[in-house]
A = this chain, B = another copy of it.
Amino acid sequence: MEVEIKFRLEENVKRKIEEVAEFVCEVRERDLYFNHPCRDFLKTDEALRVRKSEKVFLTYKGPKIDKETKTREEIEVEIGDFDKSVEILKKLGFKPVAEVFKVRRIYKLGDATICVDNVKDLGEFVEIEVKSEDVEKAKGVVFKIANEFGLKNPITKSYLEMLLEKKR
């Protein structure tokens, strides 16, 4: 399970993250999201995307299972080629719905991954994530970190949902 909380980013938090967390890398990510041919993912709260960064990944996300966070099942597999993956999905009837472009700075802090994201058309955000099957324990970890950084008002919507809302 991917236990994750997200907040709008303020300058002072950015500085705090750089002080206490260990910087891993900066990546440019292009995420193309698809809707299912016969199951409306905007209603079932599922997601399927092809991500292009240094490598290419195919990712399925299950419905969010928690009201306070973005916690959901996530299955991800590396895939050899962005264009061919997209072509196969289109042949299967999957419909591209939106693309999310971002520059992501990744940090590690204990078991947590902290992502400082600059998302095209949406702005700057911080995501705190722990992968674990013990959701309650992982929630404890991510909320503790958020408190230490003084982060309030978590956003439970995904970037895809935020972008689609903005478009409407």
Contacts and interface: CB of A to CB of B under 8 A. Distances in A.
Contact of A38 (B38, B81, B85): B38
Contact of A60 (B37, B76, B80, B88): B88
Contact of A37 (B38, B58, B75, B78): B38
A88 to B, nearest CB: 5
Contacts of A39: 37, 93
Given A38-B37, A39-B37, A75 B92 contact: no
Contacts of A84: 75-77
A131 interface: no
Contacts of A93: 36, 38-39
A154 interface: no
A45 interface: no
A92 B38 contact: no
B77 A80 contact: yes
Given A38-B37, A77-B79, A78-B81, A58 B88 contact: yes
Nearest to A82: B77
Interface of A: 36-39, 46, 48, 58, 60, 62, 75-81, 84-85, 87-88, 91-93
Given A62-B91, A77-B81, 18 more contacts: A36-B37, A36-B92, A37-B37, A37-B39, A38-B38, A39-B93, A46-B91, A48-B92, A58-B79, A58-B88, A60-B88, A75-B87, A75-B91, A76-B84, A77-B79, A77-B85, A77-B88, A79-B80
